A and B are shown apart, each in its own frame.
Chain A
């Protein structure tokens, strides 16, 4: 099994761009799709990126996902930050035994 490590928190100003990383501890990040979920306080998670870089309908194109094999990590980038983007963000993938793995989550503060 492997772990997905995210920064505990990030903060940035409205209108700016922020990137949240998700580093896979073993095995290639490119081997299995990565998803990103947004969770606002008191609410269930919603998908903002699926299959590494795909955006569900209704998610603004300010949200983008990417994979970097050199750092063995996935990234979620949010541009043109809005106060409504303030939330917890979780990356998620799976392993060769078909077990699902979540990252520890990153609290995004937009100030």
Chain B
């Protein structure tokens, strides 16, 4: 069965960096677009970024553009999010999610999320 397991969250000071990982299993990872979506405490969902199956195309929300970088390693069935210049408003649960075949604009499987807290 499809499984997505995020890791790498934690407490970081403003201006700091963090790298999130998402380990995928149960499907041919290299065939699918993947996304990061976040949810601040008590707030709604906010799309962060997605990456094409071959890494040739990426897109970012304006709120993270220039600070966050999405990447993947298809040999390791893993998705990453490098987060730099972190701000208090980046505090959220970060979910990785898979897009259904031949799409990029929806998500059919989500991980359970990893919490990132940006605070001094």
Contact = CB atoms under 8 A, between A and B. Distances in A.
Tell me if chain B binds chain A.
yes
A54 to B, nearest CB: 10
Contacts of B110: 44-46
Interface residues of B, number: 21
A44 B95 CA distance: 8
Contact of A37 (B45, B46, B59): B45
B44 interface: yes
A104 B47 contact: no
Interface in B37-86: 37, 44-47, 50, 59, 61-62
A30 interface: no
A102 B44 contact: yes
Given A44-B95, A44-B112, A50-B100, A102 B107 contact: no
Contact of B106 (A43, A92, A104): A92
Contact of A100 (B95, B105, B112, B113): B105
A98 interface: yes
B105 A94 contact: yes
Interface residues of A, number: 28
A80 to B, nearest CB: 25
Nearest to B111: A44
B44 A101 contact: no
Given A33-B105, A47-B106, A50-B100, A104 B50 contact: no
B106 A50 contact: yes
Question: Of B45, B46, B108, which is in contact with the most chain A CB atoms at under 10 Å from its CB?
Answer: B45
22 contacts: A33-B106, A35-B105, A37-B107, A39-B45, A44-B110, A44-B113, A45-B95, A45-B107, A47-B107, A47-B108, A50-B106, A51-B106, A88-B44, A90-B45, A97-B59, A98-B105, A100-B35, A100-B47, A100-B50, A100-B105, A102-B44, A105-B45
Interface of A: 1, 32-33, 35, 37, 39, 43-47, 50-51, 56, 88, 90, 92-94, 97-105
Given A43-B112, A93-B105, A98-B59, 13 more contacts: A1-B62, A35-B107, A37-B45, A39-B45, A92-B45, A94-B105, A98-B104, A99-B59, A100-B35, A100-B47, A100-B61, A101-B47, A102-B46
